[in-house]
Protein backbone atom coordinates (compact mmCIF):
# COMPACT_ATOMS: atom_id res chain seq x y z
CA UNK A 1 0.00 0.00 0.00
CA UNK A 2 1.41 3.40 -0.98
CA UNK A 3 0.91 5.46 2.20
CA UNK A 4 -0.22 5.35 5.81
CA UNK A 5 -3.72 6.65 5.04
CA UNK A 6 -4.28 3.90 2.48
CA UNK A 7 -2.93 1.28 4.88
CA UNK A 8 -5.24 2.51 7.64
CA UNK A 9 -8.25 2.27 5.32
CA UNK A 10 -7.17 -1.15 4.10
CA UNK A 11 -6.67 -2.41 7.67
CA UNK A 12 -10.22 -1.23 8.44
CA UNK A 13 -11.53 -3.15 5.45
CA UNK A 14 -9.72 -6.29 6.58
CA UNK A 15 -11.25 -5.90 10.05
CA UNK A 16 -14.78 -5.53 8.62
CA UNK A 17 -14.22 -8.51 6.32
CA UNK A 18 -12.88 -10.66 9.19
CA UNK A 19 -15.80 -9.62 11.41
CA UNK A 20 -18.25 -10.73 8.70
CA UNK A 21 -16.56 -14.12 8.35
CA UNK A 22 -16.69 -14.56 12.13
CA UNK A 23 -20.38 -13.64 12.14
CA UNK A 24 -21.10 -16.14 9.37
CA UNK A 25 -19.08 -18.84 11.13
CA UNK A 26 -21.05 -18.43 14.35
CA UNK A 27 -24.40 -18.24 12.55
CA UNK A 28 -23.57 -21.16 10.26
CA UNK A 29 -22.44 -23.36 13.14
CA UNK A 30 -25.61 -22.53 15.10
CA UNK A 31 -27.75 -23.36 12.06
CA UNK A 32 -25.87 -26.63 11.44
CA UNK A 33 -26.21 -27.69 15.08
CA UNK A 34 -29.92 -26.89 14.96
CA UNK A 35 -30.83 -29.93 12.87
CA UNK A 36 -28.87 -29.31 9.63
CA UNK A 37 -25.78 -31.55 10.02
CA UNK A 38 -24.85 -31.41 6.32
CA UNK A 39 -24.68 -27.63 6.22
CA UNK A 40 -21.26 -26.34 5.14
CA UNK A 41 -19.92 -23.15 6.71
CA UNK A 42 -17.05 -23.19 4.21
CA UNK A 43 -19.50 -22.98 1.30
CA UNK A 44 -21.33 -20.19 3.12
CA UNK A 45 -18.03 -18.27 3.29
CA UNK A 46 -17.41 -18.88 -0.42
CA UNK A 47 -20.88 -17.62 -1.34
CA UNK A 48 -20.38 -14.44 0.64
CA UNK A 49 -16.85 -13.76 -0.60
CA UNK A 50 -17.76 -14.13 -4.28
CA UNK A 51 -20.83 -11.91 -3.90
CA UNK A 52 -19.03 -9.15 -1.96
CA UNK A 53 -16.11 -9.14 -4.43
CA UNK A 54 -18.61 -8.58 -7.24
CA UNK A 55 -20.37 -5.81 -5.26
CA UNK A 56 -17.06 -4.10 -4.49
CA UNK A 57 -16.07 -4.24 -8.15
CA UNK A 58 -19.26 -2.28 -8.94
CA UNK A 59 -18.42 0.27 -6.23
CA UNK A 60 -14.92 0.73 -7.65
CA UNK A 61 -16.42 1.58 -11.07
CA UNK A 62 -18.91 4.14 -9.76
CA UNK A 63 -16.60 7.15 -10.17
CA UNK A 64 -15.87 6.31 -13.80
CA UNK A 65 -12.44 4.85 -13.23
CA UNK A 66 -10.84 1.96 -11.43
CA UNK A 67 -7.58 2.20 -9.51
CA UNK A 68 -4.86 -0.30 -8.75
CA UNK A 69 -5.40 0.33 -5.03
CA UNK A 70 -9.09 -0.60 -5.32
CA UNK A 71 -8.37 -3.77 -7.28
CA UNK A 72 -5.59 -4.82 -4.89
CA UNK A 73 -7.97 -4.35 -1.95
CA UNK A 74 -10.75 -6.41 -3.55
CA UNK A 75 -8.35 -9.16 -4.60
CA UNK A 76 -7.04 -9.50 -1.03
CA UNK A 77 -10.53 -10.22 0.34
CA UNK A 78 -10.70 -13.80 -0.83
CA UNK A 79 -9.82 -16.24 1.92
CA UNK A 80 -12.09 -19.04 0.71
CA UNK A 81 -12.94 -17.97 -2.86
CA UNK A 82 -11.61 -15.74 -5.61
CA UNK A 83 -13.90 -14.27 -8.26
CA UNK A 84 -11.28 -14.23 -11.00
CA UNK A 85 -10.34 -17.86 -10.34
CA UNK A 86 -14.01 -18.85 -10.45
CA UNK A 87 -14.41 -17.19 -13.86
CA UNK A 88 -11.22 -18.64 -15.35
CA UNK A 89 -11.10 -21.86 -17.34
CA UNK A 90 -8.61 -23.74 -19.52
CA UNK A 91 -9.06 -21.29 -22.40
CA UNK A 92 -9.30 -17.97 -20.54
CA UNK A 93 -7.55 -16.83 -17.39
CA UNK A 94 -8.80 -13.74 -15.60
CA UNK A 95 -6.51 -11.79 -13.27
CA UNK A 96 -7.31 -8.94 -10.89
CA UNK A 97 -4.15 -6.98 -11.72
CA UNK A 98 -5.11 -6.83 -15.41
CA UNK A 99 -8.41 -5.03 -14.79
CA UNK A 100 -7.06 -1.46 -14.31
CA UNK A 101 -5.68 -1.55 -17.85
CA UNK A 102 -9.19 -2.08 -19.25
CA UNK A 103 -11.67 0.71 -19.91
CA UNK A 104 -14.36 1.30 -17.23
CA UNK A 105 -17.00 0.52 -19.88
CA UNK A 106 -15.51 -2.92 -20.58
CA UNK A 107 -15.13 -3.69 -16.86
CA UNK A 108 -18.70 -2.51 -16.17
CA UNK A 109 -20.08 -4.94 -18.79
CA UNK A 110 -17.84 -7.63 -17.32
CA UNK A 111 -19.18 -6.93 -13.81
CA UNK A 112 -22.80 -7.11 -14.97
CA UNK A 113 -22.14 -10.46 -16.64
CA UNK A 114 -20.62 -11.71 -13.40
CA UNK A 115 -23.74 -10.64 -11.50
CA UNK A 116 -25.90 -12.70 -13.82
CA UNK A 117 -23.62 -15.71 -13.33
CA UNK A 118 -23.82 -15.31 -9.56
CA UNK A 119 -27.62 -15.16 -9.31
CA UNK A 120 -28.09 -18.72 -8.06
CA UNK A 121 -25.14 -18.49 -5.67
CA UNK A 122 -26.53 -15.25 -4.23
CA UNK A 123 -30.00 -16.79 -3.90
CA UNK A 124 -28.48 -19.72 -1.99
CA UNK A 125 -26.68 -17.33 0.35
CA UNK A 126 -29.85 -15.30 0.90
CA UNK A 127 -31.80 -18.51 1.52
CA UNK A 128 -29.46 -19.17 4.43
CA UNK A 129 -30.14 -15.65 5.76
CA UNK A 130 -33.89 -16.25 5.47
CA UNK A 131 -33.82 -19.66 7.17
CA UNK A 132 -31.46 -18.43 9.88
CA UNK A 133 -33.83 -15.56 10.57
CA UNK A 134 -36.84 -17.92 10.67
CA UNK A 135 -35.31 -20.60 12.89
CA UNK A 136 -33.09 -18.77 15.39
CA UNK A 137 -34.16 -16.62 18.39
CA UNK A 138 -34.91 -12.99 17.62
CA UNK A 139 -32.36 -11.73 20.15
CA UNK A 140 -29.72 -13.66 18.19
CA UNK A 141 -30.90 -12.80 14.67
CA UNK A 142 -31.33 -9.03 15.07
CA UNK A 143 -27.74 -8.34 16.23
CA UNK A 144 -26.44 -10.67 13.52
CA UNK A 145 -28.27 -8.89 10.69
CA UNK A 146 -27.39 -5.43 12.03
CA UNK A 147 -23.71 -6.30 12.35
CA UNK A 148 -23.61 -8.08 8.98
CA UNK A 149 -25.09 -5.13 7.06
CA UNK A 150 -23.03 -2.56 9.00
CA UNK A 151 -19.79 -4.43 8.29
CA UNK A 152 -20.71 -4.80 4.60
CA UNK A 153 -21.27 -1.05 4.35
CA UNK A 154 -18.02 -0.27 6.18
CA UNK A 155 -16.16 -2.63 3.89
CA UNK A 156 -17.56 -0.93 0.78
CA UNK A 157 -17.03 2.56 2.23
CA UNK A 158 -13.38 1.70 2.82
CA UNK A 159 -13.03 0.71 -0.82
CA UNK A 160 -14.66 3.97 -1.93
CA UNK A 161 -12.03 5.91 0.04
CA UNK A 162 -8.91 3.85 -0.61
CA UNK A 163 -7.92 5.66 -3.82
CA UNK A 164 -8.28 9.06 -2.13
CA UNK A 165 -11.15 10.11 -4.41
CA UNK A 166 -14.43 9.57 -2.57
CA UNK A 167 -17.33 10.09 -4.97
CA UNK A 168 -21.08 10.49 -4.34
CA UNK A 169 -21.80 7.90 -7.02
CA UNK A 170 -19.75 5.37 -5.06
CA UNK A 171 -21.95 5.94 -2.01
CA UNK A 172 -25.07 5.44 -4.13
CA UNK A 173 -23.76 2.22 -5.70
CA UNK A 174 -22.57 1.01 -2.31
CA UNK A 175 -26.05 1.29 -0.80
CA UNK A 176 -27.71 -0.07 -3.93
CA UNK A 177 -25.56 -3.22 -4.03
CA UNK A 178 -25.93 -4.00 -0.32
CA UNK A 179 -29.69 -3.54 -0.65
CA UNK A 180 -30.16 -5.45 -3.91
CA UNK A 181 -27.77 -8.29 -3.10
CA UNK A 182 -28.80 -9.07 0.47
CA UNK A 183 -32.01 -7.30 1.59
CA UNK A 184 -33.90 -7.56 -1.71
CA UNK A 185 -32.22 -10.94 -2.18
CA UNK A 186 -33.92 -12.20 0.96
CA UNK A 187 -37.29 -10.89 -0.27
CA UNK A 188 -36.69 -12.52 -3.65
CA UNK A 189 -36.02 -15.85 -1.97
CA UNK A 190 -39.13 -15.52 0.20
CA UNK A 191 -41.24 -14.93 -2.91
CA UNK A 192 -39.81 -18.07 -4.51
CA UNK A 193 -40.52 -20.05 -1.35
CA UNK A 194 -44.11 -18.79 -1.30
CA UNK A 195 -44.59 -19.72 -4.95
CA UNK A 196 -43.12 -23.21 -4.60
CA UNK A 197 -42.79 -24.43 -1.02
CA UNK A 198 -42.17 -28.18 -0.88
CA UNK A 199 -41.73 -28.19 2.90
CA UNK A 200 -38.05 -29.08 2.63
CA UNK A 201 -36.28 -25.76 2.37
CA UNK A 202 -32.55 -25.67 2.99
CA UNK A 203 -29.59 -23.68 1.71
CA UNK A 204 -27.59 -25.24 -1.08
CA UNK A 205 -24.52 -25.58 1.09
- Contact (Cβ atoms closer than 8 angstroms) between residue 81 and residue 49: yes
Task: Please enumerate, as own/partner, the contacts of 172-179 that have beta carbons within 8 Å and a separation of 24 or more.
Answer: 172/62, 173/58, 173/59, 173/61, 173/62, 174/59, 174/62, 177/55, 177/58, 177/59, 178/55, 178/149, 178/152, 178/153
Positive or negative, the CA dihedral 23, 205, 49, 113 is: negative
Tell me the pLDDT of the chain (205 aa) as tens digits: 446 688 999 999 999 999 999 999 999 999 999 999 999 999 999 999 999 999 999 998 888 888 899 999 999 998 999 999 999 988 889 999 999 888 888 888 899 889 988 999 999 999 999 999 999 999 999 999 999 999 999 999 999 899 877 777 888 898 999 999 999 999 999 998 887 765 555 565 4
Q: Give pLDDT, residue 89.
A: 86
Q: Distance between CA 184 and CA 162 in Å, rounded?
A: 27
> 115: which residues sit within 8 A by CB, 6+ positions away?
54, 58
Considering the entire predicted model, what is its pTM?
A: 0.89
Q: Give pLDDT, residue 1.
A: 42
Amino acid sequence: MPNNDTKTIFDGMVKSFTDILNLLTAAGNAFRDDGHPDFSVDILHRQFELSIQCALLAVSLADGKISKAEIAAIASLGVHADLMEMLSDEETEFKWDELPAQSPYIISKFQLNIERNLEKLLDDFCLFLVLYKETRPEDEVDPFMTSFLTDCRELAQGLAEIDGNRDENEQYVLEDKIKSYYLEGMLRVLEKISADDDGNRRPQA
